[in-house]
Chains A and B, each alone.
Chain A
């Protein structure tokens, strides 16, 4: 196209951006007039102008016309015109529905044309655009083309990948069917190009539908076996720099990673393949070209990935580790990078962890000498992965060393990793040292003329708690500490100032000698008459407290904060967020390790009821923002108050929840099924459905009570996560011995009148019916007591309310109209039919209460989303009361039958 070439060279000759824009505007005006002109343009001109528009668009300018002309080109019989039309449509996707109709029409014609070149263009276009509209129009047609006997190979290849693209964007529109088994057999196709494309498709489909594609495993293994044993010339054009079919080999190895190790027969053959690949790595290269070694090593790394994935052949794992060890010292940076990366996953296998550890010196050296930050980053990752008790000190020391010179981009991550490793493998804490060090460091940092507000907060907290540890030094005497903090006071925001006021009252306790100075500050107008209510209240209360309280009371009220309760480590959460789900395993491991050996000091201990309260673990970290849930008065003997008077330290377990599988809930089922001798079967098992119903619309209260024991709950839920505080109160005056709840061990002795507390973390993995069971055993006066209660963790706890307009609601309501999505229940009212109470219950149930949505104002309508780890399920509900008949009709519509069913059951019980 000469005109195009001239235009492009004009643009290239433009000396300035302005000149370029001028030239482009001139061209756009020209094209516009041609398109609008009276003279009908011939196909060639149309193609040329459309191509110019495309060029202008790719230069980064907006194009808002020409789509119609491009669509016209699609129906041209000339290949080159059609091709440009398709290119334009693919690059400048347009959402105009009239255009889409025309485009789809043209594609349909080309697909039906039986001309493989035209079919190819049409399939490329569908794959390039990949929109939902395209999927709706063609997802049914493409599988047919793919498996039809008379389809040309090249068209099959395009069809397979086109289908893959549609499946990725709109999986719901690509239903599995008869074609799936025939696609699997494409693995046997003679044409290696077809096999390659089909393997990509199958791999993605198999990830979501493993059962459906199970047969692909043996086919993939035999195909792979034929490739790795072939001579380098057997596969002709599919041999790439002396490596037979590297792309296909890698894809097959990847497909096999969707499945566990295969049956013994197939497995033997696969092991042979993997050994052959490992052997070939030791052979001298057949070519000096980098393409040869890249292709060969690509297959090798993928084979190692599969070996690691199977994690079952110690021999292969160790060989893989040795191979990677060689690469760690290779002169190619790329190979060193990949070896570090691959070894990281190898470190987590029990078979190869030790083998990986032998390379520690090389990895540390990489951290010091690699010139590429991405490689150093991999070295840090690997050190982190290979760290255990035996080498933790060395690794943490090296990381800290490196931190001083590390690139800014990875410093944060290194700090997080060091913090996690130090926390995980620390053998002992010399707390006083740490606290004194912290106080000293923060004091020094605060000397800077300009401090970040976060530093002031941290400083305020630490000095308030541990300032006494450095007060002996005249350079950091109490008054100096106070003046230093107070010099920052006026520059800070309200929450920080509130925190500082708390620091001041703590100082009154720690340093009586500066009490009057502090009282003067609290008494000043700017505090006592502060416009901010929180500041004013703190100033008034602290002033009062400092004036009337005796030293003893002050010392008690302002006692040092207790060790923080265990909860999900914020550093881990942060790292997880940064690095994605791959670190989740680390997290689980760390939790296990921690609960077993690190928590000695934080074991839950029963606290005598006469003890003075300490803040609850649910209070905010600094213990100042929220009023702790405490009650300093001695516990009255009424049983209800057991819940609020004493808080011990807490421990937590992670208890994932899955439908019907109690074994996921810690070890509860193990214990429940094991034989437990109950000498006195009183209260042995509680079918606590009744109890559960009480908790459906609320989160706190007494779960269980008999003459011996009271169990109270406080829980909170957000999205698919929850946290439950369980309080076990001994109502008797005798000790409970061997006290063992199955959620997680607590101190085995519970004194008479005392209370033990426990925190359980909850995660909703997917929707579920059965509540987890809590089994408790203890010995009371020589008899073994044994009881089971259901924990009131019900599906609706993972509701997040959704507000929506009436129109939206009914539109969604209609979308969920298939019989499986709707569940309805008509039932008699068990309680008085009070509108306000009903509203409160629907809100307590977790859904949003939508006002003015239902045309009948007497009805109640709600909407929300159930969050589980894997999916979110939108839920709509409608409750129609019939006052005359004292009946309700409750309708639930969700995208999942089981969810509709369960929610309907749960909610029906409430009215």
Chain B
């Protein structure tokens, strides 16, 4: 089971946090600080796996963003790497050449896509088609560009 997923920039700015185990907010903040520090300190030659408490961190950097997920000791590390990759692919497919700014300005979409892909810390849908289709279906219900520009800016 995945315990949490964090996305953060090379500057250590958190871009997305998803928790699959219930923790108090204070504890979450502490964990985020600790993990960002651990991972930013590692260099590219190192493995993508870090033992952390009784969990394992599996991470990968895509351009300016680090994707990190914490899995249990018995979980499959390589597959966790591909979970991260598949999520990046889903974001990419949705946003088209996804970049950090897309995730900053459309953070809610990043959460929705993640929810289609992973639920309760387990993979829900590994097919790219199905997962993206769910989001695109719902986007049919969203505002058009024209509607968007007509909305007030405050």
Where the two chains meet, the residues of A that have a C-beta atom closer than 8 Å to any C-beta of B are 1-3, 5-6, 8-9, 12, 30, 44, 51, 54-55, 58, 60, 78-80, 83-84, 87, 93, 117, 120, 123-124, 127-128, 130-131, 154, 157-158, 161-162, 164-165, 168-169, 192-193, 196-197, 200, 237-238, 240, 245-248, 250, 254, 291, 294-295, 297-298, 301-302, 333-334, 336-338, 371-372, 374-375, 377, 580
Contacts and interface: CB of A to CB of B under 8 A. Distances in A.
A227 B148 CA distance: 46
Indicate the size class of the contact surface on chain B.
35 or more
A338 B78 contact: yes
B141 A2 contact: no
A467 B130 CA distance: 77
B46 A374 contact: yes
B79 interface: yes
B93 interface: no
Interface string B95-127: 000000000110110011001000111111111
A157 B119 CA distance: 9
A13 to B, nearest CB: 13
A6 B129 CA distance: 32
B35 interface: no
A302 B120 contact: no
The list of the 4 closest CB pairs from A to B, nearest first, reads A165-B120, A298-B78, A372-B46, A237-B127
A770 to B, nearest CB: 35
A377 to B, nearest CB: 7
A54 B50 CA distance: 31
B112 A301 contact: no
Contact of A127 (B120, B142, B148): B120
Contact of A60 (B29, B45, B138, B153): B29
Interface in B23-54: 29, 42, 45-51, 54
Contacts of A93: 22
B126 A193 contact: yes
Nearest to A59: B14
Contacts of A200: 122-123
27 contacts: A3-B153, A3-B154, A12-B104, A51-B108, A80-B141, A83-B108, A83-B138, A154-B134, A157-B124, A161-B124, A165-B120, A193-B127, A193-B130, A196-B125, A237-B129, A240-B86, A245-B126, A250-B79, A294-B79, A294-B81, A295-B78, A295-B79, A301-B76, A338-B49, A372-B47, A374-B46, A374-B49
A338 B77 contact: yes
Contact of A158 (B79, B81, B119): B119
A130 B19 CA distance: 11
Contacts of A30: 154
Contacts of A58: 14, 17, 107
Given A169-B22, A237-B130, A196 B123 contact: yes
Contact of A1 (B77, B85, B151): B151
A238 B120 contact: no
Contacts of B149: 2
**A contacts with B: majority SS:** helix
Given A51-B108, A80-B143, 13 more contacts: A2-B151, A78-B141, A93-B22, A127-B120, A161-B124, A168-B120, A193-B126, A246-B82, A250-B79, A298-B77, A333-B46, A333-B48, A334-B81
B128 interface: yes
Most buried by A among B73, B123, B128: B123
B112 A83 contact: yes
Contacts of B48: 333-334
A84 B124 contact: no
A336 B3 CA distance: 25
A372 B105 CA distance: 36
B82 A161 contact: no
A853 to B, nearest CB: 33
Contacts of B143: 1, 80
A196 B125 CA distance: 8
B93 to A, nearest CB: 12
Nearest to B43: A371
A254 B119 CA distance: 19
B49 A371 contact: no
A240 B125 CA distance: 12
Contacts of B22: 93, 130-131, 169
Contacts of B42: 372
Contacts of B128: 237
Contacts of A338: 49, 77-78
A404 to B, nearest CB: 22
A764 B141 CA distance: 60
A154 B20 CA distance: 20
A302 B79 CA distance: 10
A291 B82 contact: yes
Given A87-B112, A291-B85, A374-B46, A154 B130 contact: yes
